[in-house]
Every structure is written in C-alpha cells, then in structure tokens.
Amino acid sequence: MTTSPAPASPPAYPMARTCPYGLPPDLSRLREEEPITRVRLWDGSTPWLVTRYDDVRAVLADPRFSADAGRPGYPARGPSSRARRQGPGSFITMDPPEHTRHRRMLIREFTVRRTETLRPVVEETVERLLSGMAAGGQPVDLVQAFALPLPSTVICHLLGVPYADHAFFEEQSRRMLDLQGDPSAAADAARTLAAYLRDLVVAKAAAPGDDLIGRLVLRHVRTGELTLRETVATAMLLLVAGHETTANMIGLGVLTLLRHPEQAAEIRDADDPAVADAAVEELLRLLTVAHTGRRRVAVEDVELGGVTIRAGEGVIAAADAANRDPAVFAVPDELDIHRAPNHHVAFGFGVHQCLGQPLARLELRIAYRALFRRFPSLRLAVPDDRLSFLHTMPIYGVRSLPVTW
C-alpha cells in the first residue's frame, strides 16, 4: 500500500494544454498510470491529485475531506487566491454543520421549480441580445454581445443587483480570479466588491425588495441567523459564480459546437427540447470549465485507491480528468450530444455540488438553441488559431469569440 511520502520530483499542477480543446496530455497520462499521485503547486506544496471518476466522487462525498480553505494543508489555487481570503469566506469553504446551515437558507431559491419561474427573464434577455446582434455590424464578439451579458443580467435580476453596474463587478471578478495576477490587486478587488455589496445589503435591510438578497434580509438577517458579513460573502459568491461560469460555458460551448456543425444542426432543428437538454449535459462533461480541481484537505487518515492520505494533506479532485475517464464514458474525448447515461461531475458531487446548477442548465439550454436558430449560418470570423483562452483563470473559457453569419 502506498503511503504519504512524496516522490522526488512530482509534476507541476495545473498542467499545460497542448490543445485548447483537450485535457493536458500529462493529466490524461496520470489518470491511466498514476491515478492518485503527488503534484507540485505554485507554493512548493505537494498535495495529492485524484483523477479517476470513482475516486473523485469518493473524495467529494467523504466528510473526512474538508472544504475549509483555512485549514493547514489546504491546497490554494495561487497567491491571488490566498491573498483574497481574509477572514471567513463563503459557505462553499465551510464544512457541515455550518455549510448545511447556510445552504438551507438558499436551497429554496434554486430548486428546479423556483428556477423555472426565471424562464421568461432568460428568454426575454436572450431575444433582446440576439436582436441586438442582428441589428449591429459584423463580426461580433459573442462573449461581449451574448455569453457574458446573458448570465450577468439574470443573476442581477435574481439577486437584486443593478445591472447598470455590470462592468464594475465583472472587472472586479476578473481581478479577483486571475491565478497569475497580482495578489494585492486580487485582495483589493475582493475588498472593493465586498464594500459595494455591503452597501447594497444595508440598503435592502432598510427597504427589502422582492429579490434574493432582500429575502435573505427578511428571513435570516433580521432574525439574527445571518450576520451582515455572512450575507455579503454569500452575495459575492452568487454574483461572481452566477455570471463567470455560465458565461464561459456559453462561449466555449458555442465554439465547440461550431467545430461540430452536424451536432449544432441537430440542436437547432430538433422539435424536442430534450435534444438541447442532452447537449448541455454533454458540453458540461466535455468542457468542465472548472478546470483547476475541487480542493480539499484530509482531516483524518483515509485510504483511497490503495493510497493512504494522511490527516492534514491536501487533495485535488480533478473533475475534468474524471469526466473523460474511459472506464465510465465511451470515447470520452469526443462530443456526443446523445450520450446516455451521462452522470458527469462538472457541478461537483456530494454536499458541496453547485447550488445554482438548475439555473445554469436553464440558461444554457435556452441560449444554445436560440442562438443557432436565430443564426443558422453562424461561423467563426477568424481562424481558430487566433483565439485566446483563459488558461490562468479558475474557470476555463475563450477570451473573445468573433463570429459572423
């Protein structure tokens, strides 16, 4: 049985891609040859990297692996990530029972039924943005014209954040999340965005509106269940995650479909919306835009796949590698919008899986189908080797996507 000592020279993580549409080759190799192995991070630490589907799910479902970023041994994504974590974070970096307490306050806001009430907002926003594209000149940067403003508009509507401020919070998000950015700039961006949201929460405490932040104030802040600081942390998490992940999935998903025109045509022409539903699941699996792994730290010794992970050792569960595990997904590196079953882990697994996944699915299903129906001849306006990708961000995507039709 393998125990904790690190190899003499563990590979660096994250690993470089040789193709922007595929996994890093070294990551695929490790999944087949050394599925649980040490890797070296930016700070010289050597946590365990877990790459096979069954092992990734086991880590994410096991309470012996903590999500608390404040624990010694937790594998931080980079210096900017560490710098902006000052004091208690949001509930996604908490363990039960605190995580459970916070999540229960939000769960009713993200049920499938509740999310379905946002369909008119999503559909109206999609139609407005596509009409704006059609009325303007070509080419169009799909990221700026469609992929980013759609989820930003919807999350602002849900939270009660003025969309007029979208350029401000989008910029602060980029500064916060850049893994190779200036740590002081990331910390400053986090403070700036927190101050903005604190003012918004205070205003809603005086006059709550019919929005998520207003409901949190009425149900939980006024009762003493939530502090102002906790409410701000939750609002920041939802605002940033609510536009960054879906925006990158729209942009990268459209690019992927443009490279598979027959499957894009199926989504466009199908009368059955289930075709678009299945396509979304396959794109989520194949792309797995949260590409730097789910981070944990062991709180006691755990045996996993023949390896003993000691208490205090960090673990990275590589969902992107798991979602292309050939033991689970046939021909895993190919897009197949009819793939079934498709139990991917793009939204995580266990108690910390993404709370907002029903909303993300709704936006993606409507966005892909409407875009290709409105612009059936949609195509890239530049050679694909001129595209730039977000390699240094924790959420992978394409920086801009010039298209024409």
Confidence of residue 8 (pLDDT cuts 50, 70, 90): low
171 found inside a domain:
yes
Averaged pLDDT, 87-107: 88
CATH number of the domain bearing residue 136: 1.10.630.10
CA distance 22 to 15: 12
Range of the domain at 108: 78-290+329-404
In this structure, is residue 318 part of a structural domain? Answer: no
Residue 6: predicted pLDDT = 47
pLDDT per position as a tens digit, 188-227: 999 999 999 999 999 999 998 899 999 999 999 999 999 9
pLDDT of residue 326: 98
In a domain, 25, yes or no: no
Task: Decide if 191 is inside a domain.
Answer: yes
What is the mean predicted confidence (pLDDT) over 153-167? 97
pLDDT at 84: 73
What lies within 8 Å, CB to CB, of 349 at 6+ separation is 56, 57, 60, 61
> For residue 309, is it within any domain?
no
Q: What is the rounded average pLDDT for all residues in the chain? A: 94
Taking the complete model, does pTM exceed 0.75, yes or no? yes
pLDDT at 88: 53
| Percent of residues, the chain, with pLDDT higher than 70 | 97
The pLDDT tens digits for 106-157 are 999 999 999 999 999 999 999 999 999 999 999 999 999 999 999 999 999 9
Q: Is 115 exposed, middle or buried (0-12, 13-18, 19+ CB in 10 A)?
A: buried
Q: Is 94 part of any domain?
A: yes
pLDDT digit string (tens) for 83-92? 776 545 788 9
The fraction of the chain above a pLDDT of 90, given in percent, is 92
Task: Answer for the pair 323, 344: CB distance below 8 angstroms, yes or no.
Answer: yes
Residue 310 counted as domain residue? no
Determine the pLDDT at residue 117.
Answer: 97
What average pLDDT does this structure show over 64-85? 90
Residue type, 233: A
Q: Domain for residue 68, yes or no?
A: no
Report the pLDDT value the prediction gives residue 181, as an integer from 0 to 100. 85
**How far apart are alpha carbons 183 and 13 in whole angstroms?**
19
* pLDDT average, residue stretch 162-176: 94
**Residue type at 312 in one-letter notation:** G
pLDDT in tens, 234-289: 999 999 999 999 999 999 999 999 999 999 999 999 999 999 999 999 999 999 99
How many domains would you assign to the chain? 1
The residue type found at 114 is: R
